[in-house]
Amino acid sequence: MTSQAPTPAYRRLSVEERRSQLLEAALSLFAHRAPEEVSLDDVAEAAGVSRPLVYRYFPGGKQQLYEAALKSAADELRDCFDEPEEGPLLPRLTRAVERYLAFVGRHDAGFSALLQGGSVVETSRTTAIVDGVRRAAAEHILRHLGVEEPGPRLRMTIRMWITAVEAASLIWLDEDKQPPLEELRDWLVEQFVAVLTVTARRDAQTDTLVQALAADL
């Protein structure tokens, strides 16, 4: 009775594609419901595949799938920060923020789930995944700024800005992605410069950086 031609949902995917598809489906489901309310059947249905297929990829079941989904999103998010260390600094940051916001827009509820780490099923492992991304973001910024030993004021400023960017992303999703990505991107980068400038008033290391940023433009 089954047709010879595969249905779109069952079209032949590579192992990696299939895995990504399952992870994406899982992340969306976990974003909206507590894990105990998500069954592997739901994930299979959302991905348009059979339950045994989900098990074949994730023999550890739901917890394994959940953690793999978070980890995969976290890895993709880290990739956003990858930017060659060449050219003026602010355009580099602008490009990274643009990729980050595109990621946020693409994953939507999945992004909220990731950030909340997930709010519904936080474990020390999931929290570590999200904190790892935040740490990676801060390290990328410091590397691009050429700072090897950031003082506490500079470090705090960067962590505060990263948190503010996360908050902005969640609000942005809530507000149907308004303002447009390009405006939000530039706005966030300008805020970065503005808060560094405030810190520069009380921190020599940051002051040097702000002057370098200004000269670099």
Q: Which residues bind a second copy (CB under 8 A)?
A: 119-120, 122, 127, 152-153, 156, 159-161, 163-164, 166-168, 171-172, 175, 178-179, 183, 187, 190-191, 194-195, 197-199, 201-202
Q: CA-CA distance, 106 to 160, in Å (whole number)?
A: 24
Q: What is the 3-state secondary structure (H, E, C) of the chain?
A: CCCCCCCHHHCCCCHHHHHHHHHHHHHHHHHHCCHHHCCHHHHHHHHCCCHHHHHHHCCCCHHHHHHHHHHHHHHHHHHHCCCCCCCCHHHHHHHHHHHHHHHHHHHCHHHHHHHHCCCCCCCHHHHHHHHHHHHHHHHHHHHHHCCCCCCHHHHHHHHHHHHHHHHHHHHHHHCCCCCCHHHHHHHHHHHHHHHHHHHHCCCHHHHHHHHHHHHHC
Cβ nearer to a second copy, comparing 54 with 74: 74
Rounded to a whole number of angstroms, the minimum distance from the CB of residue 97 to a second copy is: 14
Beta carbon of residue 153, minimum distance to a second copy (angstroms, whole number): 7
Which CB atom, from 6 or from 180, has the smaller least distance to a second copy? Answer: 180
197 vs 208, beta carbon nearer a second copy: 197
When the beta carbons of 40 and 90 are compared against a second copy, the nearer one is 90
Q: How far is the CB of 139 from a second copy (least distance, A)?
A: 16
| Cβ at position 148, least distance to a second copy in Å | 19
Q: How far is the CB of 32 from a second copy (least distance, A)?
A: 14
Q: In whole angstroms, how far apart are CA 59 and each of 37, 87, 141?
A: 19, 46, 38
List the end-to-end C-alpha distance of the chain, in Å, as a whole number. Answer: 66
Q: In the complex with a second copy, which residue's Cβ is closer, 28 or 206?
A: 206
Residue 61 Cβ vs a second copy, minimum distance, rounded to whole Å: 22
* CB closer to a second copy, 95 vs 155: 155
